[in-house]
Structure 1
Amino acid sequence: MREIVLINSKEDPKVKTLVVNKIELLPIKKSIVEQHIDLYRIEKSVDALIFTSRYAVKSLVKNMQEYPELEVFRQIPAFVIGENTAQKLESAGFKVEYIGLDSHGAGFSSEIIPLLKNRKPLYFRAKKIVSGLDVKLAEAKIKLKQIIAYENKTNIVDKTFKPLPRSILIFTAPSHYLAFKQNFGWDGSYSAVAIGMTTFGVFDSEVEGFVSPAQSIDSCIEFAKELALKLP
């Protein structure tokens, strides 16, 4: 049976994992001030939060622990692209107003644009994004403010860790696919499972790619196991 390898930014005990990225959580207090948001009257400038990654949530929570004045963010309703990120927000005491039906950034933007008319959203995001969410909202005249909450950095991995031919590789973010290619290139015998449409969208045309039925690592693993039994 084909080997299954999770390409990720941290180890997962349930499956063989290749760590090709590291996540750096960034300080955000200065960025908030630069967006002309009064730290002691945040709710006057922001009435909606946008998250497309659990790392953005993790970064905000870490910064809140250092700066109590940021605690008000827990009371501002959030618009979230995925169920997992929504769960992380709720477990941290945040209010979730909307969970996207579409796991692709373009689809998510179309869903939330009508909901954000006349709102003042603040988007906590990665340093580099591929979804184009910020552009779509700007084109729709949404008064969007953005905070770079984390950065995805590529690890240089020893070539001996390159997965075997015919492996099924699971990618949980566009940056993981790009970092994998930077390290190992691409073997045409590989098959790839994307956690969502945004990740699937960065696959090159020669990649035999599939999208997980549900947007979670566990679902990706189960789907990859099914593919391993079905693929020749």
Structure 2
Amino acid sequence: MREIVLISSKENVKIKTLVVNQINLFSIKKAILDQHIDLKNINQHVDALIFTSKNAFKALLQNIQQDCELEGFRDIPAFVIGEGSAQKLRKEGFKVEYVGIDSHGSGFSSEIIPLLKNRKPLYLRAKKIVSGLDAKLLDAKIKLKQVIAYENKTIILDNALKPSPKSILIFTAPSHYLAFKQNFGWDGSYYAIAIGMTTFSVFDGDVEAFVSPIQNIDSCIEFAKELASKLP
């Protein structure tokens, strides 16, 4: 059976993992203040938080734990692209107002634009994004503020770590695919599985690729195993 490899930014005990990215969480207090947000009256400046990544939420939570002046963000309702992130927010006592139906950034933007009319949202985001969500919200005249909460940095790997031909590779973020390609290029015998449409959208045209039916890592792994059992 074909080897299955998760291409990620952290190890997964359930499957062979190739770590290609390092996640750097940023200190964001200054960036928030630079957006003219008064921390003593946060609700007057921000009445919605937007998350398209668990890493952005991790950055906010880490900053809150280090600086109690940011505690007011817990009371601001969040618009979240996936149920996995929503569960993490609820677990930490945050309010979730909306969970996206579409796992693609462009679809998510279409869903939340009508809900954010006359609102003052803050988008906590990666240094580099591929979905164009910010541009779509600004084009829709949403009064969007943005703070860069984290970045993905490519790890340069030894070529000996390159997965064997015919492997099934699972990608859970666009940055993971781009980092993998930077390290190893692409073998035409690989099959790729994307956790969602945003990740799928960055694959090159010659990549044999599928989108996981459910947008979480466990489902990606099960889908990959099912695919491996059917392929020669």
Are 2:175 and 1:203 aligned?
no
Deviation sequence 1:27-60 (CA, Å, 0-9, x none): 0000001001012111110000000000001000
> Aligned to 1:108, what secondary structure does the other structure show?
helix
Match of 2:13 in 1: 13
Deviation sequence 1:131-184 (CA, Å, 0-9, x none): 000000000000000010001000001100000000000000000000000000
Q: Gapped runs of 5+ residues in structure 1?
A: none
Match of 1:59 in 2: 59
Q: State how far apart, in whole Å, the 2-side matches of 1:21 and 1:40 are.
A: 36
Runs of 4+ in 1 over 4 A off after TM superposition: none
One-letter identity of the residue aligned with 1:122:
L
TM-score by length of 1: 0.99
Match of 1:229 in 2: 229
Q: State how far apart, in whole Å, the 1-side matches of 2:88 and 2:56 are.
A: 10
One-letter identity of the residue aligned with 1:157:
L
Match of 1:84 in 2: 84
> Aligned to 1:214, what secondary structure does the other structure show?
coil
Q: State how far apart, in whole Å, the 2-side matches of 1:176 and 1:93 are.
A: 30
Match of 1:220 in 2: 220
Q: How many angstroms does 1:102 deviate by? A: 0.0
Match of 2:183 in 1: 183
Are 2:138 and 1:152 aligned?
no
Deviation sequence 1:190-211 (CA, Å, 0-9, x none): 0000000000000000000000
CA RMSD, Structure 1 to Structure 2 (Å): 0.5
Size of the aligned set, in residue pairs, is 232
Identity among equivalent pairs (%): 75
> Aligned to 1:136, what secondary structure does the other structure show?
helix
Q: How many angstroms does 1:223 deviate by? A: 0.2
Q: How many angstroms does 1:66 deviate by? A: 1.2
Q: State how far apart, in whole Å, the 2-side matches of 1:230 and 1:118 are.
A: 51
One-letter identity of the residue aligned with 1:35:
Q
Q: State how far apart, in whole Å, the 1-side matches of 2:166 and 2:135 are.
A: 37
Q: Aligned ranges for residues 108-123 of structure 1 at < 5 Å?
A: 108-123=108-123
One-letter identity of the residue aligned with 2:44:
K
Q: State how far apart, in whole Å, the 1-side matches of 2:65 and 2:47 are.
A: 21
Q: Gapped runs of 5+ residues in structure 2?
A: none
TM-score by length of 2: 0.99
> Aligned to 2:118, what secondary structure does the other structure show?
coil
Q: State how far apart, in whole Å, the 1-side matches of 2:149 and 2:105 are.
A: 18
Q: State how far apart, in whole Å, the 2-side matches of 1:230 and 1:97 are.
A: 40
Match of 2:42 in 1: 42
Conservation of the 8 A alpha-carbon contact between 2:39 and 2:72: no
Q: How many angstroms does 1:230 deviate by? A: 1.2
Match of 1:141 in 2: 141
